[in-house]
């Protein structure tokens, strides 16, 4: 099993915090990342990986979820407002699509005078002068 994806992810996270690195570290980790990206090397050596892991632990902050760990005190309980107590059991139905026959003013149809040059139909309605 290769460590290529985890190596690339770790190097990208390290380079995102390049302000906390010195010049040689930035140059070395950028070179490692470009070597992995361009398939010059398949994965980092154990020594490179250990060095990158040490720098990653130093530079990248460790986040913790304080709420899930119950380290943040809960606020006081408040009653549910009346507007939220009487909500419907299911969502309202979707609106029906309005067809052209249901839209006011859209009751025109094609006149059928194709021999006189009336052939233009737009949305099922005639667009000629005789039908306007």
41, 3 contact by CB (below 8 A): no
Interacting residues of 13 by C-beta distance below 8 A, sequence separation 6+: 56, 60
Residue 22 backbone phi and psi in degrees, to 5? -85, 175
SS3 55: helix
DSSP code string of 98-114: PPTTTSTT--------G
Q: Say how far apart CA 107 and CA 126 lie, in whole Å.
A: 10
The pLDDT profile of the chain, 132 residues, written as one tens digit per residue, is: 578 889 999 999 999 988 888 889 999 999 999 988 888 888 889 999 999 999 999 988 877 778 777 788 888 999 999 989 988 889 888 877 655 555 555 555 556 666 666 655 555 556 566 655
- Residue 99: the pLDDT is 52
């Amino acid at each position: 099993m290769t460590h290529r994806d985890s190596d690339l992810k770790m190097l990208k996270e390290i380079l995102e915090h390049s302000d906390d690195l010195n010049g040689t570290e930035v140059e070395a980790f950028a070179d490692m990342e470009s070597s992995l990206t361009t398939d010059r090397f398949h994965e980092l050596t154990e020594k490179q990986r250990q060095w990158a892991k040490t720098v990653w632990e130093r530079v990248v902050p460790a986040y913790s979820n304080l709420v899930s760990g119950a380290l943040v005190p809960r606020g006081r309980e408040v009653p549910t407002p009346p507007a939220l107590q009487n909500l419907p059991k299911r969502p309202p139905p979707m609106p029906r699509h309005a067809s052209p026959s249901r839209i006011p003013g859209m009751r025109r149809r094609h006149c059928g005078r194709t021999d006189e040059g009336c052939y233009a139909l737009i949305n099922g309605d005639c667009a000629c002068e005789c039908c306007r």
